[in-house]
Each structure stands twice: as structure tokens, then as C-alpha cells.
């Protein structure tokens, strides 16, 4: 089956990496057939969802500052409908983990994640959140936030530039767009 | 002068061992330390009333603590005191918290990382680590086995009971537990995941209505163990950690470590590199102050102001980006000079930025500095007196807002700072508004420094040749610089290896946070956030 049109304004599908992953994901989701009507409604819902992702910024260190740059006028995260940063996990769809996560923080990040309402996504921003980064050998650092909570998108960099963050966010939008919302088991 | 201090020390403690190292170093036994510190602090002629740094060291045979004291009137007058105990099972030393408030958090840090407990410290909980952490990481025989300290995702209740050891008047030691809060206190948690604590700070705050009664500071939510990691890395490898401490003063922190190593092994840094370093330092300072300004205005509810500050910041980041490819963390300084030469249009870009920034400063002044709401929420709020600033070791724009002249660039000029002309901004008010204004004025002074240097960058090398493997001769090395938030210090104890034996960073933000319980007491809970914004601390710098 050909790749469903996961359209992101201004950037053709071929320009994205990891398209194969999304194709496999679609195959997996559509293994039991697709309801024609529901899938159309799905598309509408997902169009809305993907363009108004409300992030919760779990900023612990340097990457948080780059997120602030991304949110300010020059880079303007509002172009993606994501400027509504929520400080309450109950109102957020996406948790951006920006910075190192250490032992003392582990129970707290898990708790905040658990408080978020489904459907929820996690973006690991920067080397520390992905793997522990430069501090991987430390006694107090957790080697990647995915040891505690599931991660959807990894954005490498130390810290990543706002542009890389946007690329990661667009990848997340693409993922949201192919999901089936109605009448299916969610993630 | 030195002779007089030596005489004073020997008069107080006859058996003290005095050595002339990089700084005057005095070794005393634990029992005499408190007396000596008190004498040094309280004497009229050479008052050493500013505790710069308190470093715990595992010296192998003994566990010790180094104190760097200096005079608050002249920061270049310094003396190092050393003490230690050979009891590794139950090491006890005497606290100096009653003399210097800043010692409190530092002693708790030493307890968490080295296991030394301090007699008479009012609150001997571990600072960065959880109370149930097994082992003391900075000890040389620490067992790093992850099975001893597994990652736990179970939320635990906060226990507000602090152990402490007191010495009674007849010399007996009494261990006791005290409650941090009273039983019927109403306690709320501000942080650790709170957007206005400027990072992952955790204030347990007890309230009386909307008035702050008491703040209990919990830290360590981003304790990354940088000092321990450094002990197994070479000096050029350690450099990248400095950028990630206070990421807003990244270049200045790195400058400090580079200078410390360069002085230890006598590397002459080329003139061109010095110019590039100072210009980049000052740009970093402006960048940091702009972010502080944006964040503080945002904390007070002015979202537009936040966007304005970030807009100007982007221009500096573009200059960094073009010079070395990094925006926030620029990895520019290396031992011996800088990693990259400036690009062809560097001078043009910086010169275009100076008048632009000046124009914007007027704009900031016009729409926020005289705003009625801003004035009401900052003027007279979060007052800190000069004596308090010195006792809590609050340096930087916050210390200078309390009329304490504490600019290292003036007192101990390093690099090119003795060749440039600039004013040290002092204010007497000591409130949040004075701290706010100080930052804006310091941006102007930084622009003035850059202006003097930008046209005179000499030709030549931008990096001295260094050996492939850098080994520091045996000894102790201190370096102090003025970072954007205050005094940043590096302490290296070397045993002649290519790795440091002990490396400690003096964090300006830790002092700023240690003063928060003091200056927020009796203020409204809503103003706590604004006061935090005016102090402008960075949490990874505290936790290290």
C-alpha cells in the first residue's frame, strides 16, 4: 500500500527522513482493515490535533533556553500551533523533555507524565534526554528519559537548534496525522 | 600586610602551619578553625568577611575542607584555610554557619558528597542527593555500582525533619532532630517542575495567608556529578562541562577554567585571543542579562517584553553562530587561546549591534522600567542589605544592587580588564528594582567595553601551541572571574597528573538561592516569583 498523504505545509514528504518507519506504522495500524467513513473523520480530527499540539516544557537545563528561543519571535513556534505552552500536565498533549534527567527527578517526571491525559506524546530534546549525553558516566544521571517514560521523537543536539526542534515537532505532527482515532485501540 | 596577617593568625592559633602557595595557606586542626575564622572575620584592620568558597576534599589519608576567605572591601586579599579529619567512619568538623550564612548550603553539600558532618550546623540534611543515597560520591573509594543506587520511580513523601549535631557548653556532642516547619503550618511546593523557578528549583514554602513565612530550599534535581566526572577526564575534556554549568555565562565559565590551567602551566595566551575572549565574554554577559530581563518581565506578567528581549538576544546568538557554529553553548575557548578565529565580518556585525542595542535599552526603559505595575511589584520588594549580601556571598548584579562593590573585573583584573574603562554599577536600594536596573546598566557598560576593543583587535595567532597532553604540576590553583550572575570560581587540586585530583566550581547561583529564604520572608507569595526573577539564578550551576 502506498504511503498515505501525510502532508506538512511547505515540505514535501520525500524531504523527511524515516518515512519507512511511518509506512510500517500505517501498515500495522491498518492490519485489520479500515472503515471508510471513520477514517475520513479520523483525518479531520487528526488535522486538528496535529496543528494544535499543546506542549508541556519539562525544561531542566540548557535545552530549555533553546526552547525559549524557539518560542520567541525570531523562530516563532506559533507557526505550528504549538505556542500554547501549558504548565499543567492535565492540559498538555506533548511533553518536551529538555535537559538532563537525574535520579532525584525520576519519580517526578513519571508522575507528571502519568497526569497527562491521553493521547499524549513525548519528545526527547537534546543529548541528555536521549542518552545522558556528556554526563552518561555520572552516578546520578539517568541514561535517557526513555528508561522512565516512552518517547515518540528524539531530537539530537547539545543543545539542538530551534530548527532541529521544529523538524522533530513536524515529525511528531506526521505521526499524529496517520493515527487512527475513532473505533480503534489507541497507542 | 602579609606579615601582619601571619602574625594575627599565629597569635590566635600558635600551632597553625602557614605556607606560601598560590595563596597564603593556613592549616589548622578542626577545633581551632572556628576561632581562627572568627578572628579573621572580626578584626578591624584586615577583615576577611567574605567566604568565597568552601571545598570538601578527600585527601586520601584524611577528609578535609578548604575555605577561601577574602576581604569584602578588597577581593584580592585572600587567605586559604585548611582543616581535616582522619576519621573516615564518622567524620566530624565544626561548622562556621554562625559566621557566614553562605556556609550553610556548602556544608550540606560537603555532607552529601563526602560524608563530613558539621557540628553546630542547624540543618544537616544532604543537599543534592536523596537522604537514602548509598555512599559518598566524591570520596575516592566510592563504589559506583548502579545496583547500590537503582533508579526509583516511586514518589516519596517529603520529610521535614532535619538531623543536627550540637555541642553543649560542657563539650559534649548531642544528636537531635528538629522540625523544619511548625505543625500547623500551611506548606505548598513551588517547583521542581514550575516554569517560573528558572529551572528545577524546589521551594517548600510555608504560608500565612498569602505572606511567605519560611522557605525550605531543596536542590539536586539536576545534580549531574560534574565534579566527580572531571576527576577521570583530561583538562581539555573537562572544558565542555563548564559551558553546561551556567549555560548563560557559558563562555565566561570556560574562560575561567582555561585561565586556571594556563596560569598553572605558564602558557602565554596570544593578544588576539585575549581580545576575542573578552569581546565574546561581554557579548555573553549581554546575552545573559537580556535573558534575565526577559524572564523577569515575563514572571511579572509582561509577555511582550519577553519577546522583545529574546529578539535582541537572537542577534548576539547569530554572531556566536557565525563565529563558531554554536548558539547557546559555543565551545569557543580552549587552553591557550580560542578554537576559531573571528570571521571576516565579525567587527562589522558587532559594531552594528552596539548602537542598535543602545536604542533598544531606551525602549526597554520607556515601556517597562517606569511602568506602574512593574514599579509596584519590584520597588521595596525583596530587600537585602549590604551585610546580608556579604554574609550570603551574593555577588554579581544582585550584590552590587546592595551597594557591595564585588566586581572581580575591577578588584582582580584578569585578561584585558585592566586596559579597558568601565564603571562598576552600584545601587543602594537593595530591592528587586535595583537588581533589575543594575542589569540594564551593565548591558550599557558591556557595550562600552566592546566598543573600546572591537577596532583594536591585533593581528597574529589566535591560539598558543600547547602540548598534546596537559599535566598540571602538583599544587592548588584558584581562578576567579566575574560571570553574568556573579563571581564564578575554579579550584583545581592537582597531583601532577593529566587529570585533576579535585576540581570544584564556585557557583554564583548557589549564593543567590541561599539568600532567597531571607529576602522572601514576609513578602507576598506572588512576589516570590518576581524576586526570583530579579535574582536570576541558573539551577544547573547550583547542582553541578
A9 occurs within a structural domain: no
Residues on chain B touching A164 (C-beta within 8 angstroms) = none
DSSP B137: T
Q: Any chain A CB within 8 A of the CB of B322?
A: no
Residue pointed to by grid coordinates 550572575: B485
Tally of CB atoms within 10 A around A29: 16
pLDDT above 70: residue A179: yes
d(CA B502, CA B82): 15
And the C-alpha cell for B450? Answer: 566592546
pLDDT above 80: residue A37: no
Question: pLDDT (tens digit, 9 = 90+) per residue, A45-65?
Answer: 888 888 888 888 888 888 888
pLDDT above 90: residue B89: no
CB contact under 8 A, A107 and B229: no
pLDDT above 50: residue A2: no
Question: pLDDT (tens digit, 9 = 90+) per residue, B308-356?
Answer: 888 889 999 999 999 888 888 888 888 888 888 888 888 899 999 999 9
Q: Please report, for the domain that includes residue A170, its CATH number.
A: 3.40.50.12280
In percent, the amount of chain B with pLDDT more than 90 equals 12
Instruction: Note the maximum CA span of chain A.
Output: 54
Cis preceding linkage at A4, omega within 30: no
Decide: B398 and B534 in contact? Cβ < 8 Å: yes
And the C-alpha cell for B417? Answer: 580588564
And the C-alpha cell for A171? Answer: 515529525
d(CA B415, CA B258): 11
Tally of CB atoms within 10 A around B524: 16
B195, B222, B328 member nearest A60 (Cβ): B222
Distances (CA, A) of B17 to A7, A50, B1, B47, B345: 75, 70, 18, 20, 56
CB contact under 8 A, B200 and A105: yes
Domain count, chain A: 1
SS (H, E, C) B58-112: ECCCCEEEEEEEECCCCCCCEEEEEEEECCCCCCEEECCCCCCCCHHHHHHHHHH
Question: Residues B314, B316, B321, B322: is their CA dihedral positive or negative?
Answer: positive
- At residue A107, φ and ψ (nearest 5 deg) are -65, -30
CB contact under 8 A, B327 and A69: yes
- At residue A121, φ and ψ (nearest 5 deg) are -135, 155
Q: Any chain B CB within 8 A of the CB of A96?
A: no
pLDDT above 70: residue B436: yes
And the C-alpha cell for B374? Answer: 512593574
Pairing, β B92-94 against β B117-119: parallel
pLDDT band at residue A185 under the 50/70/90 scheme: low
A75 occurs within a structural domain: yes
DSSP B365: I
Across the range B71-78, mean pLDDT stands at: 85
Across the range B111-128, mean pLDDT stands at: 88
Residue pointed to by grid coordinates 533598544: B360
- At residue B370, φ and ψ (nearest 5 deg) are -115, 10
Q: Which helix (H) or strand (E) holds B286?
A: helix B271-299
d(CA B498, CA B232): 9
A74 occurs within a structural domain: yes
Q: CB neighbours of B372 closer than 8 A, spacing ≥ 6?
A: none
pLDDT at B196: 67
In Å, how far is A94's CA from the nearest CA of chain B? 15
And the C-alpha cell for A22? Answer: 511511518
A8 occurs within a structural domain: no
B156, B199, B327 member nearest A161 (Cβ): B327
Cis preceding linkage at A113, omega within 30: no
Among candidate residues B393, B391, B387, the one with its CA nearest the CA of residue B542: B393
Residues on chain A touching B229 (C-beta within 8 angstroms) = 135, 137-138
pLDDT at B71: 87
Q: CB neighbours of B248 closer than 8 A, spacing ≥ 6?
A: A65, B284, B287, B288, B291, B292, B328, B484, B485, B538
**Chain A residue with Cα closest to B196:** A87
Pairing, β A121-125 against β B337-338: unpaired
Q: Which domain holds residue A75?
A: 16-178
pLDDT above 90: residue B286: yes
Residues on chain A touching B228 (C-beta within 8 angstroms) = 138-139
**C-alpha angle with apex B23: B542 to B85, nearest 5 degrees?**
65
Among candidate residues B77, B226, B17, the one with its CA nearest the CA of residue B138: B226
Across the range B56-71, mean pLDDT stands at: 88
Q: Any chain A CB within 8 A of the CB of B247?
A: yes
And the C-alpha cell for B404? Answer: 557591595
Q: Which helix (H) or strand (E) holds B333?
A: strand B333-334
pLDDT at A183: 59
Q: Any chain A CB within 8 A of the CB of B303?
A: no
d(CA B401, CA B512): 13
Residues on chain A touching B193 (C-beta within 8 angstroms) = 58, 108-109, 112
d(CA B399, CA B388): 9
d(CA B448, CA B50): 30
Among candidate residues B58, B85, B84, the one with its CA nearest the CA of residue B140: B58
Q: Any chain B CB within 8 A of the CB of A100?
A: yes
Q: Where are the domains of chain B?
A: 2-142+161-178, 227-543
pLDDT at A17: 80
Complex prediction ipTM: 0.84
Among candidate residues A21, A57, A66, A97, the one with its CA nearest the CA of residue A160: A66
* Range with the poorest average pLDDT among B16-25, B175-184, B283-292, B303-312: B16-25
| Full DSSP string of B213-244 | EEEEEE--TT---HHHHHTTS-HHHHHHHHHT
And the C-alpha cell for B20? Answer: 606560601
pLDDT at A122: 92
Q: CB neighbours of B493 closer than 8 A, spacing ≥ 6?
A: B57, B475, B476, B477, B500, B501, B502, B503
CB contact under 8 A, A61 and B194: no
Decide: B263 and B285 in contact? Cβ < 8 Å: no
A183 occurs within a structural domain: no
Domain B2-142+161-178 has CATH 1.10.3720.10: no
d(CA A155, CA A170): 11
What is the assigned CATH class of domain B227-543? Answer: mainly alpha
B504, with CB counted inside 10 A (0-12, 13-18, 19+), is buried
More confident residue, A7 or B120: B120
d(CA B11, CA A179): 80
And the C-alpha cell for B278? Answer: 573578552
Across the range B163-185, mean pLDDT stands at: 85
DSSP B419: T
CB contact under 8 A, A87 and B194: yes
And the C-alpha cell for A127? Answer: 543529548
- At residue A48, φ and ψ (nearest 5 deg) are -70, -45
Residues on chain A touching B156 (C-beta within 8 angstroms) = 107
Pairing, β A94-98 against β A121-125: parallel
Fold agreement (B2-142+161-178, B227-543): no
CB contact under 8 A, A104 and B310: no
In percent, the amount of chain B with pLDDT more than 70 equals 99
B144, B151, B192 member nearest A108 (Cβ): B192
CB contact under 8 A, B221 and A73: no
In three-state secondary structure terms, B211 is strand
And the C-alpha cell for A1? Answer: 500500500
**Chain A residue with Cα closest to B219:** A104
Tally A–B CB contacts below 8 A: 127
Q: pTM of the predicted model, to two decimals? A: 0.89
CB contact under 8 A, B193 and A108: yes
Question: Residues B171, B177, B183, B188: is their CA dihedral positive or negative?
Answer: positive
Q: CB neighbours of B377 closer than 8 A, spacing ≥ 6?
A: B300, B432, B526, B527, B530
Amino acid at each position: 500500500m502506498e504511503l498515505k498523504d501525510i502532508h506538512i505545509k511547505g515540505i514535501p514528504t520525500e524531504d523527511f527522513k524515516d518515512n519507512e518507519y511511518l509506512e510500517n506504522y500505517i501498515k500495522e495500524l491498518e492490519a485489520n482493515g479500515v472503515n471508510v467513513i471513520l477514517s475520513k473523520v479520523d483525518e479531520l480530527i487528526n488535522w486538528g490535533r496535529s496543528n494544535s499540539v499543546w506542549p508541556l516544557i519539562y525544561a531542566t537545563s540548557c535545552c530549555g533556553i533553546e526552547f525559549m528561543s524557539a518560542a520567541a519571535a525570531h523562530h516563532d513556534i506559533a507557526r505550528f500551533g504549538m505556542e500554547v505552552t501549558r504548565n499543567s500536565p492535565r492540559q498538555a498533549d506533548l511533553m518536551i523533555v529538555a535537559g538532563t534527567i537525574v535520579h532525584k527527578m525520576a519519580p517526578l517526571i513519571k508522575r507528571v507524565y502519568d497526569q497527562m491525559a491521553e493521547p499524549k506524546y513525548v519528545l526527547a530534546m537534546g543529548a541528555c534526554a536521549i542518552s545522558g549525553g556528556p554526563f552518561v558516566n555520572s552516578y546520578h544521571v539517568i541514561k535517557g528519559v526513555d528508561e522512565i517514560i516512552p518517547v515518540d521523537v528524539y531530537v539530537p543536539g547539545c543543545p539542538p537548534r530551534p530548527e532541529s526542534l521544529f523538524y522533530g515537532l513536524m515529525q511528531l505532527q506526521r505521526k499524529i496525522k496517520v493515527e487512527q482515532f475513532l473505533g480503534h485501540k489507541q497507542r | 600586610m602579609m606579615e601582619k596577617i601571619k602574625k594575627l593568625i599565629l597569635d590566635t592559633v600558635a600551632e597553625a602551619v602557614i605556607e606560601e602557595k598560590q595563596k597564603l595557606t593556613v592549616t589548622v586542626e578542626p577545633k581551632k578553625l572556628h576561632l581562627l575564622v572568627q578572628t579573621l572575620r572580626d578584626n578591624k584592620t584586615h577583615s576577611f568577611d567574605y567566604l568565597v568558597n568552601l571545598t570538601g576534599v578527600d585527601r586520601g589519608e584524611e577528609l578535609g575542607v578548604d575555605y577561601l576567605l577574602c576581604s569584602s572591601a578588597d577581593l584580592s586579599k585572600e587567605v586559604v584555610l585548611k582543616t581535616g579529619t582522619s576519621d573516615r567512619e564518622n567524620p566530624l568538623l565544626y561548622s562556621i554557619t554562625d559566621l557566614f550564612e553562605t556556609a550553610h548550603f556548602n556544608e550540606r553539600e560537603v555532607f552529601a558528597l563526602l560524608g563530613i558532618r558539621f557540628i553546630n550546623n542547624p540543618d544537616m540534611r544532604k543537599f543534592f542527593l536523596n537522604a537514602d543515597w548509598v555512599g559518598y560520591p566524591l570520596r575516592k573509594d566510592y563504589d559506583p555500582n548502579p545496583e547500590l543506587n537503582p533508579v526509583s520511580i516511586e514518589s516519596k513523601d517529603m520529610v521535614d525533619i532535619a538531623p543536627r549535631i550540637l555541642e553543649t557548653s560542657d563539650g559534649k556532642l548531642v544528636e537531635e532532630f528538629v522540625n523544619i516547619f511548625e505543625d500547623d503550618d500551611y506548606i505548598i511546593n513551588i517547583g521542581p517542575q514550575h516554569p517560573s523557578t528558572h529551572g528545577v528549583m524546589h521551594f517548600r514554602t510555608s504560608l500565612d495567608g498569602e505572606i511567605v513565612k519560611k522557605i525550605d530550599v531543596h536542590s539536586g534535581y539536576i545534580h549531574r556529578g560534574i565534579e566527580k566526572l572531571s576527576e577521570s577526564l583530561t583538562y581539555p575534556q573537562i572544558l565542555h562541562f563548564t559551558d553546561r554549568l551556567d549555560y548563560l555565562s557559558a563562555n565566561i565559565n570556560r574562560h575561567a577554567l582555561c585561565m586556571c590551567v594556563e596560569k598553572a602551566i605558564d602558557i602565554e595566551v596570544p593578544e588576539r585571543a585575549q581580545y576575542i575572549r573578552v569581546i565574546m565574554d561581554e557579548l555573553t554577559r549581554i546575552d545573559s542579562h537580556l535573558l534575565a530581563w526577559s524572564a523577569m518581565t515575563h514572571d511579572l506578567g509582561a509577555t511582550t517584553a519577553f519577546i522583545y528581549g529574546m529578539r535582541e538576544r537572537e542577534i548576539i546568538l547569530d554572531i556566536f553562530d557565525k563565529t563558531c557554529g554554536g548558539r547557546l553553548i559555543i565551545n569557543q575557548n580552549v587552553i591557550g587561546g580560542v578554537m576559531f578565529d573571528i570571521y571576516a565580518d565579525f567587527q562589522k556585525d558587532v559594531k552594528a549591534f552596539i548602537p542598535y542595542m543602545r536604542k533598544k535599552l531606551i525602549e526597554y526603559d520607556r515601556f517597562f522600567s517606569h511602568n506602574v505595575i512593574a514599579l509596584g511589584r519590584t520597588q521595596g520588594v525583596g530587600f537585602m542589605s549590604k551585610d546580608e549580601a556579604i554574609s550570603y556571598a551574593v555577588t554579581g548584579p544582585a550584590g552590587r544592587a546592595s551597594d557591595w562593590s564585588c566586581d572581580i573585573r575591577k578588584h582582580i583584573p584578569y585578561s584585558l580588564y585592566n586596559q579597558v574603562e568601565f564603571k562598576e554599577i552600584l545601587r543602594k536600594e537593595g530591592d528587586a528594582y535595583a537588581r533589575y536596573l543594575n542589569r540594564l546598566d551593565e548591558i550599557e557598560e558591556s557595550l562600552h567595553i566592546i566598543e573600546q576593543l572591537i577596532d583594536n583587535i591585533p593581528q597574529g595567532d589566535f591560539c598558543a601551541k600547547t602540548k598534546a597532553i596537559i599535566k598540571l604540576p602538583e599544587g592548588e590553583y584558584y581562578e576567579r572571574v566575574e560571570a553574568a550572575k556573579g563571581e564564578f570560581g575554579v579550584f583545581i587540586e592537582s597531583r601532577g597528573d593529566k587529570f585533576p585530583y579535585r576540581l570544584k566550581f564556585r557557583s554564583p547561583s548557589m549564593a543567590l538561592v541561599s539568600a532567597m529564604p531571607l529576602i522572601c520572608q514576609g513578602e507576598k507569595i506572588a512576589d516570590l516569583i518576581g524576586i526570583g526573577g530579579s535574582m536570576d539564578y541558573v539551577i544547573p550551576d547550583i547542582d553541578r
